[in-house]
């Protein structure tokens, strides 16, 4: 699967691979800049959400649809103006609700600068 939704493409995200699973990469172009020297929190949230979208898409049938319930983001460190990556794990895939956790990193995947809990409603 290589297609992302329009907003993700506008933020120049692309599907990448990390440790054999789908992930999302986002470059530090002007459109994701926030306060001087840092990525915008909104762009970071978008990256985490896209990682969850990609992870769930991978688990479901191609025509399966889902909608957002909520997204809770923890910002642990500022994101520098460099390429960022994010990947989500499916914590639980129920009949109606999928619960995922996404992390975003720049240098090391095990040292994320932000994480999110994402719940999606399966149609």
Report the interface residues with another protein, using CB under 8 A: 5-11, 30-35, 38, 40-43, 45-46, 49-50, 67-75, 78
| Beta carbons within 10 angstroms of residue 96's beta carbon | 10
Closer to another protein by CB, 13 or 22: give it: 13
Shortest distance, position 64 Cβ to another protein, whole Å:
13
Residue 103 in contact with residue 114, Cβ under 8 Å?
yes
Q: Which runs of E-coded beta strand occur in the chain?
A: 14-18, 21-26, 66-75, 84-93, 97-105, 114-122
Q: Which C-beta is closer to another protein: that of 23 or that of 118?
A: 118
Q: Which is nearer to another protein, 34 or 109 (CB)?
A: 34
Q: How far is the CB of 63 from another protein (least distance, A)?
A: 12
CA distance 36 to 2: 32
Query: CB-wise, 32 or 100, nearer to another protein?
Result: 32
CB of 53 to another protein, least distance (A): 9
| Closest approach of another protein to the CB of residue 94, in Å | 18
In this structure, the strands spanning 66-75 and 114-122 are antiparallel
Q: What is the DSSP letter of 80?
A: B
């Amino acid at each position: 699967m290589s297609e992302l939704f329009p907003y993700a493409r506008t933020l120049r995200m692309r599907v990448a691979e990390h440790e054999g699973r789908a992930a999302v990469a986002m470059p530090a172009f002007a459109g994701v800049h926030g306060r001087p020297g840092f990525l915008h929190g909104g762009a970071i949230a978008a990256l985490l959400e896209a990682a969850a979208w990609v992870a769930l898409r991978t688990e479901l049938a191609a025509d399966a649809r889902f909608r957002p319930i909520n997204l809770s983001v923890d910002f642990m460190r500022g994101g520098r103006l460099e390429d960022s990556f994010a990947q989500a794990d499916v914590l639980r895939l129920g009949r109606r609700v999928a619960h995922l956790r996404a992390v975003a990193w720049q240098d090391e995947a095990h040292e994320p600068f932000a994480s999110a809990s994402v719940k999606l409603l399966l149609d």
